[in-house]
Chain A
Amino acid sequence: MNFVFTGKRLAGLLTVLPANERKFVDDMRNFDFPESRSLKLKAVMGYDRHRVVAEGVCVSDLAVFGMRSLFDRGLLGPDDFDALVLVTQTPDYFMPPTSNVIQGRLRLKHDLFCLDINQGCAGFLVGLIESFLLLEQPSIRRVVLINGDVVSRKVSMKDRNSYPLIGDALSITVLDKSPDAPPIHANLQMNGEKCEALMIPAGGFRTPSSPETALLRDVGDNNHRSQDHLVMDGTAVFNFVQLEVPPMIDRLLEFAGATRESIDYYLFHQPNRFMLQKLADKMQVPYAKMPSNVVEHFGNASGVTIPTNIAFNLGNTVTSTRYAACLAGFGVGLTWSSMLLQLGPLDFCELIDF
């Protein structure tokens, strides 16, 4: 499905990264693989280091830290915004919503629409679409979109399939009305039949957590994980990305009446460098236009890889430059979504450490 939004802009972006960094060569000691094979994996997939939270750190901790940083520096006022949209798959609690937890910790006004959205790899896009929909309301002057996850806490350190590439992060994006802004075009599709390609099997109500679900098992490929841990079918995800993403971008360009040549950057979700380069090859996009370096520096923090991609690769220039950007997220759900927009000049665009 297609969306078009007028009179709106992305005003500012802050990414919060846990200072705690782990290196692949240290992670390797936990894997049940010969070191030479693991080093081969590192080279082919493009792994090096990733940021993971210290024990006990939750999404609201990262969010409150980031929001206070913006308040303290006058980049955002606590009463400026009328909606707080939080996209996360690792909430502080099942109940209450983590957006309310954040609202409470920051003592924000009561006239605030707080909303949790359970979305992953395409979560930043889904959050943007929801935020722009909210901005259509006269009473909503500004939306703060927070996208954060601490999924490392749900990944087995003995799972070489997942652990090396997972990262934790949180981003805060300010979305404003802007009468002269050029239109923003987006599209979105979902396929629930393939929802098991990326999942955490136990811990919800279908299979509640128990001593049984916590047992680590060799799943048959020398990777050890429990039912409480994240499991990703690499082959299924690779096939899905190759099959669905290129036509999605073609449809978006057609809908927007735009050409490939007009796009300055493809700022995509970062599953890993290998998958992104194969995607760039298939789409015939030069690697320079489709950055793929987030996982090797910070890890894959689900939806947050897109704002991290922007802040890390364009942070120095996007505050003074206007870019024609194509964003895309694809993964959990399965969900795939893309957006064409003018990115910049932003009021602020930073990476800070928690």
Chain B
Amino acid sequence: MSPILALLAQKLEVDALDRNAVLADFPEWDSLTVLAFLAAAHAEYGVTVESEEIARIETAGDLEDLIQSKRQSHG
């Protein structure tokens, strides 16, 4: 797993996470987990994610790509 997927897996309380995993299938994927993940991503990578952007995410891979694209554009 990549570091971003590992961070997400930790927040979802699972040992492994596939890029194709649909986040809505995880009971742990609620507003609390979103906030905890975003706080950790902000602290770790310095990125900011808006709630509208989260609303468009379906899979773990989508979230990983979003974080990566923000890291590249530095925000």
Contacts and interface: CB of A to CB of B under 8 A. Distances in A.
Contacts of A235: 34-35, 38, 49-51, 54
Contacts of A236: 50-51
Contact of A45 (B30, B32, B34): B32
Contacts of B34: 235
B28 interface: yes
B30 A221 contact: yes
A44 B54 CA distance: 20
- The main secondary structure of chain A at its interface with chain B is helix
Contacts of A37: 27-28, 30, 32
Contact of A40 (B32, B38, B39, B42): B32
Interface residues of A, number: 23
B43 A221 contact: no
B32 A233 contact: no
A31 to B, nearest CB: 11
B45 to A, nearest CB: 13
Interface stretch (A58-66, A75-83, A238-246): A238-246
Interface in B32-63: 32, 34-36, 38-39, 42-43, 48-51, 54
B30 A234 contact: no
B50 A281 contact: no
B38 A238 contact: yes
Given A236-B50, A236-B51, A278 B30 contact: no
A243 B38 CA distance: 13
Nearest to A45: B32
A302 interface: no
Contacts of B54: 235
Contacts of B50: 235-236, 239
A278 B30 CA distance: 20
Nearest to A240: B48
A285 to B, nearest CB: 15
Nearest to B42: A242
Contacts of A238: 35, 38-39
Contact of A278 (B43, B48, B51): B43
Contacts of A33: 30
Interface string A31-50: 00110010011001100000
12 contacts: A37-B28, A41-B32, A44-B32, A221-B31, A223-B31, A235-B34, A235-B49, A235-B51, A236-B51, A239-B50, A278-B43, A282-B43
